[in-house]
Amino acid sequence: MSRTRETTRVPAPLLLPAALAVAFLVLPLVGLLVRTPWSELGAQLAAPGVGEALRLSLVSATLATGLSLLLGVPLAWVLARSRARGRSVLRALVTVPLVLPPVVGGVALFLVFGRQGIVGSWLDDTFGVTLPFTTAAVVIAETFVAMPFLVISVEGALRAADGRFEDVAATLGAGRWTTFRRVTLPLVAPGIAAGAVLCWARALGEFGATITFAGNFPGTTQTMPLAVYLALQRDPDAAIVLSVVLLAVSLATLLLLRDRWLGRAAA
Amino acid sequence: MSLTATVDTRRGTLHLRVAVEVADGEVLAVLGPNGAGKSTLVRVLAGLLRPDAGRVVVDGEVWDGDGASVPAHRRRLGMVFQDALLFPHLSVADNVAFGLRTRGTGRAAARAAAEGWLTRVGLDGLGGRRPAELSGGQAQRAALARALVGDPALLLLDEPLSALDARTRLAVRAELRRHLAGFVGSTVLVTHDPVDAMALADRVVVVEEGRVVQAGTPADVSRRPRTDYVARLVGLSLLPGTAKGRLVRLDGGGAVAVAEEAAGPVFAAVRPESVSLYASRPDGSPRNVWPARLVGATPHGATVRCELAGEVPLIADVTAAAFAEMGLTPGAEVWASVKASEVAVYAR
C-alpha cells in the first residue's frame, strides 16, 4: 500500500485529466447538496406523492431484483457452466439490454407486452391481464434493464469459483441440484449479493424504459426518477429534495456494497 | 469389495490405456510423472470423467461399461484430493457430515458420525471450526475423514500428501497408513512420490505416457526398476543391455561385468553408494572401470550425489570429505568403478 517506488508515481500527463475527471464526477453532486433547501426538507418530503413515489420505487426495485435473482442466477449458471454451442451468442443477446438505450427497451417491451403485442394480447385474451401502465409494468421494465447486471456479475463469480469443489460434492453423493444448492450457491454468494445490489441500484434509477412502457401515473407507476423529472418542470426545489433522497439511497447502497460484499468478494 | 478397471480414453495429447485390479483391503499405488495420466485414471474411476471405452467394476457392480455410466454421486466412493478442498462455507464437522447428509442420513446421526470420525483422525474438538482455521495437515485429515465417513467401497487418494510440507507429510502419511490398514474397501493411491508408494501401498503400478510400464510390489519395483523414471525416483542408475554369461553389453555402448550369469535383454541396476570415484585410473583388479565426466553434484545428507556422463552414465554417492579431497568441480574428468557383485541384473 505504502509503496513509494518511482514507477508508482503518477506521470504528469495523466495527473491533470485524472483530477478533471474527479472534479467532473463530484462537482454536480456537491452542487446538488449546496442548492438543497435544507430548511424545507421536512415539508418537501412530507408533501403528497413523495412518500408514495419513494415507496413505489423501493418496492418495484426490490421486486425487480427478486425477479432478476430468480431468473438471472440460473441463466448465469448456464452461461458459465454449460458447454452448449451458441453460448457466446446467448451471452451477447443477454447483454444487449446493457447497451440498449432504455427508451428503446421500453418501446420493445410495449410492442411485446402491450395489449396488441404477441404476449400481451395472449395475456389479455387468456387471463384478462393488461400490463402496460401498471406497477407490474414498472417491475418488468426495471427487470429488463437491470437483470443483465446481475447475470454478468454472477457469471463472473461462477467462473472464478473453484470447480473442483463441485467434483468433491459429486464424490460425496451430491447430485447436480444438491451440489448447486449446497456448494455452488454458497460459494458464489458474495458475487450474487454484489450483483443483486448493482441490479437493485440500476432498477431504482430506471427512467426511460419505465416511462415508455409503464407511463407516469402517481401511485401506480410514478417512481422517484419520474417524479424528479416531473417536479423539475414545476417546482425545482422539490426536484432537488427528491434527488437528494435518491442520492442518499444510492450512497447507502454503495456503503453496503463496499462493507458487506465487495470486500468479501475481493478477499 | 474389489475393483477391476480397464480404461481407454484420450485427453488432449494423452492416450490412457491401462488396466488395474485392486482386491479387498488392498492399496494400489499408481506412480508416475506429471501428465502420465494418473489423475485422468482416478477421475474415470470416480465417475468425474467418462472414458471413451473401458469397464469399471466395483464389488461386482458395473460403474462404467455395457454402454452405461453410473454418475459420480451414485458411486459408493470416497475421494481425497491434493488440496484438502474442504468446503469453505461449512464447518469442519459439516464438511465431514456432508456425504452422509446427501445420502439421506438424518442431521443428528450424521453429526454424531462426523464427530466420531474427527476423533479417529485426531481432530476432536475442532469440528466447529472453519476450514480456513485448520493447518494443512489438519485439513487433509478432515478430508480423509470426510471421504471415509460414508463407508465407501472404493477410496481414491489423488496426491493426498503432496501439498503438505515435509514434516506434516510424515505425520499425515503415518496417520493415513493406520487408516488404510483398517479400511476394508479397495484403495487407489495416486502419487509421484515413491516414498508414499513404498509406505502405503501393497502393490504399485507405474504409469508413463498413459501406459502401465511396470507393476509389482513396492520392494520389487524399487529394487528392479524398468524405466529411467522409476530408477531415478528410487535413486538407481538403470543400464539396459544384452547379457551373455557374466557380461552385459550395454545398449548405449560399453559393457558391465556382473556376478550372476544371465542371457538376453536385461537391465543392470547400480546403486549410487556402490560407485567409487577416482581422480586417476585405479590400479588392481576391478573390471568395471569407466572414464566419466562430472556433470552435476548435489549435497545429500553427509554425502554428495554426483551425476556422471560418459559411455556408462551413472549416479555416484561419495562422502563430502572425499568430494572435497578430490577437488571435484562440474566438468571434472574422473574414473568410476563398480564391483561386479554390486550390480543387480534382471530380465527386461
A12-46: per-residue pLDDT in tens?
A: 889 999 999 999 999 999 999 998 888 888 887 88
Backbone angles phi, psi at A130, to 5 degrees: -120, 130
| Residues of chain A with C-beta less than 8 angstroms from the C-beta of B146 | 172
Nearest by CB to A171, from B78, B88, B89: name it: B78
Determine the distance from the C-alpha atom of residue B184 to the mean position of all C-alpha atoms in its chain, rounded to a whole number: 21
Mutation site, B44, B77, B98, interface A, largest A CB count within 10 A: B98
pLDDT at residue A5, rounded to an integer: 63
Model confidence at A169, in pLDDT bands (50, 70, 90)?
very high
Please answer whether residues B317 and B304 qualify as being in contact, where contact means their C-beta atoms are separated by less than 8 angstroms.
yes
Domain of A254, in residue numbers: 49-266
| The last residue of a domain, from among B169, B198, B227 | B227
B163 interface with A at CB cutoff 8 Å: no
Residue A260: its pLDDT value, please?
57
Q: Are residues B31 and B59 in the same domain?
A: yes
Domain count, chain A: 1
Residue A240 pLDDT > 70, yes or no? yes
B71 touches chain A (CB under 8 A): yes
Predicted confidence (pLDDT) at residue A265 exceeds the cutoff of 50: no
Residue A37 lies in a domain: no
Return d(Cα B65, Cα B142) in angstroms, integer.
Answer: 33
User: Which strands make up the sheet holding B154-158, listed edge to edge?
Assistant: B68-69, B61-65, B53-58, B3-11, B14-22, B211-216, B203-208, B27-31, B186-191, B154-158, B77-80
Is A7 part of a structural domain of the chain?
Answer: no
**Cβ-count burial of A65 within 10 angstroms (0-12 exposed, 13-18 middle, 19+ buried)?**
buried
Q: What is the CATH number of the domain that holds A112?
A: 1.10.3720.10
B46 touches chain A (CB under 8 A): yes
pLDDT band at B118 (very low <50, low <70, confident <90, very high): very high
Of B198, B227, B256, the position where a domain reaches its end is B227
What pLDDT band is residue B187 in, cutting at 50, 70 and 90? very high
Of A164, A172, A187, which has the smallest distance from its Cβ to B98's Cβ? A172
Whole-number pLDDT of residue B35: 87
Distance CA B252, CA B248 (A): 11
- State the CB neighbour count (10 A cutoff) for residue B293: 13
Number of structural domains chain B divides into: 2
**What is the total residue count of chain A?**
267
Q: Do residue B30 and residue B136 come from a single domain?
A: yes
- Across the interface, whether the CB atoms of A173 and B102 are under 8 A apart is answered yes
List of chain A residues whose C-beta atoms are within 8 Å of the C-beta of residue B103: 173
Interface touch B102/A167, C-beta < 8 Å: no
Give the angle B164-B167-B173 at the CA atoms, nearest 5°.
70
Average pLDDT, stretch A230-237? 86
The residue behind cell 560407485 is: B275
End of a domain among B204, B227, B250? B227
| Amino acid in the structure at residue A104 | V
pTM above 0.90, yes or no: no
Q: Are residues B22 and B87 in the same domain?
A: yes
Q: What is the pLDDT of residue B298?
A: 86
Give residue A261's pLDDT.
52
Same domain as B223, residue B239:
no
Whole domain around residue B91: which residue ranges?
A: 3-227
Averaged over A146-158, what is the pLDDT?
Answer: 94
Average pLDDT for B179-194: 91
Residue B307, domain CATH? 2.40.50.100
Question: Over the stretch B300-347, which tens digit does the pLDDT of each residue have?
Answer: 788 898 989 888 889 899 998 888 888 888 888 999 999 888 898 888
Residues B189 and B60 in one domain: yes
Q: Average pLDDT in the B81-92 region?
A: 94
Which residues of chain B neighbour A169 with C-beta distances below 8 Å?
Answer: 73, 87, 98, 102
| Whether residue B222 is found in the same domain as residue B255 | no
**Does any domain span residue A61?**
yes
B72 and B199 share one domain: yes
**Quick check: B150 and A172 CB within 8 A?**
yes
Query: Is the Cα torsion angle A12, A15, A16, A18 positive or negative in sign?
Result: positive
pLDDT single digits (tens) B238-294: 889 999 988 999 998 888 999 888 888 999 989 888 898 988 888 876 688 999 999
A236 belongs to a structural domain: yes
pLDDT computed for residue A87 by the predictor: 84
Q: CB-based contact (8 Å) between B48 and chain A?
A: yes
SS (H, E, C) chain B: CCEEEEEEEEECCEEEEEEEEECCCCEEEEECCCCCCHHHHHHHHHCCCCCCEEEEEECCEEEEECCEECCHHHCCEEEECCCCCCCCCCCHHHHHHHHHHHCCCCHHHHHHHHHHHHHHCCCCCCCCCCHHHCCHHHHHHHHHHHHHCCCCCEEEEECCCCCCCHHHHHHHHHHHHHHHHCCCCEEEEEECCHHHHHHHCCEEEEEECCEEEEEECHHHHHHCCCCHHHHHHCCCEEEEEEEEEEEEEECCCCEEEEEEEEEEEEEEEECHHHCEEECCCCCCCCCEEEEEEEEEEEEECCEEEEEEECCCCEEEEEEHHHHHHCCCCCCCEEEEEECHHHEEEEEC
Instruction: Residue A164: list chain B partners with CB under 8 A.
Output: 81, 83, 85
In a domain, A34, yes or no: no
For chain B, give the mean pLDDT.
90
B150 touches chain A (CB under 8 A): yes
Chain A closest CA to B213's CA: distance in Å? 29
Does residue B178 sit in the same domain as residue B244? no
Partners of B46 on chain A (C-beta within 8 Å) are 167, 170-171
Same domain, B199 and B260: no
Judged by CB atoms closer than 8 Å, whether chains meet at A170 and B87 is answered as: no
Residue A207 scores a pLDDT above 60:
yes
- The answer to whether A167 contacts B87, with C-beta atoms less than 8 Å apart, is no
Q: Give residue A1's pLDDT.
A: 46
Stronger pLDDT, B210 or A267, i.e. the higher one: B210
